A and B are shown apart, each in its own frame.
Chain A
Amino acid sequence: MPDQPTGTRLDNGFKRGEEVEIIVDGQPVKAFRGETIAAALLAAGRLTSRTIDDQPMGVYCNIGLCHSCLMTVNGVRGVRICKTPVSDGCRVESQHFEKGEQ
């Protein structure tokens, strides 16, 4: 596995919401209230949200249009993580599909 570069939270000029923890595929990931799930995952260097035929995909348009970032959130499938804010303890799971199955 190559070295995975992580993201950075920029903190000048404002304060984020309270720190929370989300559970991504069973692993705790740090997040802050107000962040989208997509932002929290990208800050943690986690770029893949789903696979189709074993090919990974992640956040692409980041405005809710391309549907590339769909994940399962608290048991609900097909959630656009770029539009969905984090909440404490929310469970986020990768989705794996074969073509035409979604």
Chain B
Amino acid sequence: MNRRFEVIIIGMGPAGLAAGVELARGGAEVALIDENPSPGGQVYRRPPAEFTLEDESFLGLRYQAGRRLIGQFERWRDKITVLNETLAWGFFEGESIALVQGDQIELVGYQKMILSEGAMERSIPFPGWTLPGVLTVGGLQKLLLQQRVLPGKRFVLSGASPLLLSVAASLLKAGGEIVALCDATRPSETSKLIPEVMRQKGLVREVLSYLFPVIKGSVPTHRPASVIAASGEGRVQEVSLARLDDDWRPVPGTEKRVQTDILAVSYGFLPLARLTRLCGCEHVYDPVQKLWRPEVDEVMRTSLPDIYTAGDSAGVGGADLAEVEGRIAAVDILAELGRISQAERKSRLEKLFREKKRINRYARLLNRIFAPRDGLFSIMDEDTIVCRCERVTAGTVLDGIAKGFRNINEIKRTRIAMGPCQGRTCESIVAEMMRQRGIPVEEIGYLRLRPPLTPIPLRVFESYASNQA
């Protein structure tokens, strides 16, 4: 017998948790589903349960802000069905979502569903970026804060992302030496954030907590600059950096070489809108950030009336925005389910919309300042790997474009997006290479995804099939 819930929420980051709490409080029968063992998403994740925390301060102010939301969730937890370590991998006709927990497959029904899958860091290739020791900045942060491992002595950080500063601070606190911090933005651009930072609750303190250690540590900072190549025997040992022009193209003659143990790169975030695509929701292209995101109305409803999306998967805006969007979706669903009156819906939404507007001004500015500019995509050469899984080079992708592939699903014939990550890393790179060669974004489109969204061993399907027989 398959279970059925009034509301299913996929993802237990800030959007999913906030929505879950609102719905449980309103009396809805709600299930929260997440791949990870504990709530919080990437942003509020705790170190593993086997680690005993004596002092949480090393986790930073952002994490402490998340404790409040996780606390609310804990208070409502017994009114919520929580499915942890459970992966949503498929969508089938008749409002059911396919889950897998361990070796068990389950199809779960719903009346309304909120997809809050979060975001992932965007990659932009450069020669040597597939060498061991090259990590994403977010990946390095997880290693430092949740696993408490410093993976080397000397570090280079590079990219265009608000994460650079916070991870630089974590690295210094952990005793790492930052031998170069390359930021593609100019100080005159990021200083535009100051008035907006002042308008956000607690943000001044948070930003200063990142800024102080970096200033005090006299970190060699290069702006506007980027790493343009990494090299080494079996692992990264040396990187080249260069100044960037206004289009973020490296300026010839400005190259410097730096020896390092680890290189961490970050080029902002992409919405992880995998399930919205699988379900067949409409998506729109954002020309500033160069990405596709689900189309939503003011209450976070997608083009499919029973499916909502909230948080970074609906368009990257950070944890505070995600939380408000989760609440907005939940309030609309409570009204749809008849749990609250239209008048209550209206008054609660008005309050949430005001809050969203305030946060959005800051989020939009961040997105504009850190949006990747065209020149960064000129750093790769013909031999640079574009698809890590299948090791497809930029040259092969360019041949594909020259052959006349004008759609991202056609250019898969070069084997991009055919490996185990299913295009998560390379899709946005290949799409941008195509766009920069004159193909309209509507023609390029986005990858058609098919279940399972993540590789699942065949034996799991076999045992499901034999149990059904």
* A interface with B by C-beta (< 8 Å): 1-2, 4-18, 32-36, 38-39, 42-43, 45, 47-49, 52-53, 55-68, 70, 76, 78, 82, 85, 99-100, 102
By a CB distance below 8 angstroms, the chain B residues around A14 are 47, 51-55, 148
Q: How close is A58's CB to chain B, nearest CB, in angstroms?
A: 3
CA distance A76 to B138 in the complex (A): 27
By a CB distance below 8 angstroms, the chain B residues around A13 are 53-58
Q: A8-B175, A33-B50, A42-B149 are in contact. Are A60 and B388 (CB under 8 A)?
A: yes
Q: A33-B50, A66-B424 are in contact. Are A58 and B133 (CB under 8 A)?
A: yes
By a CB distance below 8 angstroms, the chain A residues around B419 are 67, 102
Q: How close is A51's CB to chain B, nearest CB, in angstroms?
A: 10
Q: Are A7 and B151 in contact (CB-based, < 8 A)?
A: yes
CA distance A32 to B149 in the complex (A): 12
Find B153's partner among A5, A61, A67 (CB 8 Å cutoff): A5
Q: How close is B138's CB to chain A, nearest CB, in angstroms?
A: 7
Q: Are B235 and A61 in contact (CB-based, < 8 A)?
A: no
8 Å CB interface, B401-436 against A: 415, 418-421, 424-425
Q: Are B42 and A63 in contact (CB-based, < 8 A)?
A: yes
Q: Are A57 and B132 in contact (CB-based, < 8 A)?
A: yes
Q: A15-B51, A58-B132 are in contact. Are A35 and B233 (CB under 8 A)?
A: no
Q: Are A43 and B49 in contact (CB-based, < 8 A)?
A: no
B335 at the interface (CB under 8 A from A): no
* B interface with A by C-beta (< 8 Å): 35, 42, 47-58, 120-121, 130-136, 138-140, 142-144, 147-154, 174-175, 233-235, 237, 261, 272, 388-391, 415, 418-421, 424-425, 455, 457
By a CB distance below 8 angstroms, the chain B residues around A102 are 389, 419-420
Interface hub of A5, A78, A100 (most chain B Cβ within 10 A) = A5
Q: A5-B153, A8-B175 are in contact. Are A63 and B138 (CB under 8 A)?
A: yes
Q: A10-B174, A42-B151 are in contact. Are A48 and B235 (CB under 8 A)?
A: yes
A-B residue pairs in contact (CB < 8 Å), sample of 17: A9-B150, A14-B52, A14-B54, A15-B54, A33-B50, A35-B48, A42-B143, A42-B151, A47-B132, A47-B133, A47-B235, A55-B391, A57-B130, A60-B130, A65-B272, A67-B419, A100-B390
Q: How close is B61's CB to chain A, nearest CB, in angstroms?
A: 15
Q: A13-B57, A62-B136, A65-B120 are in contact. Are A56 and B131 (CB under 8 A)?
A: yes
By a CB distance below 8 angstroms, the chain B residues around A1 are 233
Q: A7-B149, A36-B147, A65-B120 are in contact. Are A57 and B51 (CB under 8 A)?
A: no
Q: How close is B409's CB to chain A, nearest CB, in angstroms?
A: 19
In the complex, the chain A residue whose C-beta lies closest to that of B457 is: A76
Q: Are B47 and A2 in contact (CB-based, < 8 A)?
A: no
By a CB distance below 8 angstroms, the chain A residues around B144 are 10
By a CB distance below 8 angstroms, the chain B residues around A68 are 130, 388-389, 421
Find A56's partner among B234, B237, B424 (CB 8 Å cutoff): B234
Q: A13-B55, A42-B151 are in contact. Are A52 and B391 (CB under 8 A)?
A: yes
By a CB distance below 8 angstroms, the chain A residues around B455 are 78
Find A8's partner among B42, B138, B149 (CB 8 Å cutoff): B149
Q: Which are the 9 A-B pairs with shortest beta-carbon distances?
A: A34-B50, A62-B139, A58-B132, A17-B50, A47-B132, A34-B48, A39-B147, A13-B55, A67-B421
Q: How close is B49's CB to chain A, nearest CB, in angstroms?
A: 7
By a CB distance below 8 angstroms, the chain B residues around A35 are 48, 147, 149
Q: How close is A32's CB to chain B, nearest CB, in angstroms?
A: 8
Q: Are B151 and A43 in contact (CB-based, < 8 A)?
A: yes
CA distance A98 to B373 in the complex (A): 34
Find A48's partner among B120, B175, B234, B421 (CB 8 Å cutoff): B234
By a CB distance below 8 angstroms, the chain A residues around B154 are 5
In the complex, the chain B residue whose C-beta lies closest to that of A99 is: B391
Find A7's partner among B56, B58, B150, B237 (CB 8 Å cutoff): B150
By a CB distance below 8 angstroms, the chain B residues around A52 are 391
Q: Are B135 and A60 in contact (CB-based, < 8 A)?
A: yes
Q: How close is A94's CB to chain B, nearest CB, in angstroms?
A: 11
Q: How close is B89's CB to chain A, nearest CB, in angstroms?
A: 13
Q: Are B130 and A62 in contact (CB-based, < 8 A)?
A: no
Q: Are B51 and A16 in contact (CB-based, < 8 A)?
A: yes
Q: Are B58 and A59 in contact (CB-based, < 8 A)?
A: no
Q: A10-B148, A10-B175, A65-B421 are in contact. Are A53 and B391 (CB under 8 A)?
A: yes
Interface hub of B52, B139, B151, B390 (most chain A Cβ within 10 A) = B151
